[in-house]
Amino acid sequence: MEKITDFSYNDVVLYAKGWYKRTDNVFNDIKECLKEDNVYNTWDNMSPRDICGHMLRCLDKIYGYLDDNDKKNGRWLCSHAAFLDTIEHKMKFYGNTYEEAIVYTVLSILQGLSIDEIELKAPKYGKGRRRMGGMFSNYPISMTYKEMNKIAQLTFNKK
């Protein structure tokens, strides 16, 4: 796999990896990430289907970096059958809607990207932007944006 650099869905990947606080509405969370990525046309009344379209375009961009051997690896769900089976499983097992199942499937693929596979830009926290999240917990509301940005810079600037 060719290493992904300057990925246009940077904030969506950061969200998948837990760098932004999650709410109860994954579609609004993704919409905010798309706005922060500042590349795509977004509008206030984006439907879940619109969000799914963006997530599938994100996945298509990832597929563009894979070589033939990577595409045979089941982790990427490159086969339509494997992708649809995963969606069907999420709908039956977790009770997700079709759109939720698509979003969660793509997020799980993005979450699995390693540092050797993708180079991400550090998140920027500030007024009007998302707060820092965590995979297993949320940071305290009293944490300042300066502290959040310092943690992100320390993590992303390790070489």
Distance between CA atoms of residues 103 and 53, nearest Å = 9
With both helix axes pointing from N to C terminus, report the angle between 98-111 and 80-94 in degrees, rounded to the nearest 10: 110
Please check the confidence at residue 59 and state whether its pLDDT lies above 60: yes
Averaged pLDDT for residues 29-58: 83
Encode pLDDT of 134-159 as tens digits: 655 566 666 787 888 888 888 887 65
Task: Take residue 39 and report the two structure tokens written for it.
Answer: 């590349």
Encode pLDDT of 93-114 as tens digits: 999 999 999 999 999 999 988 8
Quickly list H helices, the chain: 10-16, 26-37, 48-63, 68-72, 80-94, 98-111, 145-156
Task: Take residue 26 and report the two structure tokens written for it.
Answer: 């994954």
Q: Is the pTM of this model over 0.85?
A: no
Task: Take residue 33 and report the two structure tokens written for it.
Answer: 């990430």
Question: Three-state DSSP class for 132?
Answer: strand
Q: In the chain, what are the domain boundaries?
A: 10-122
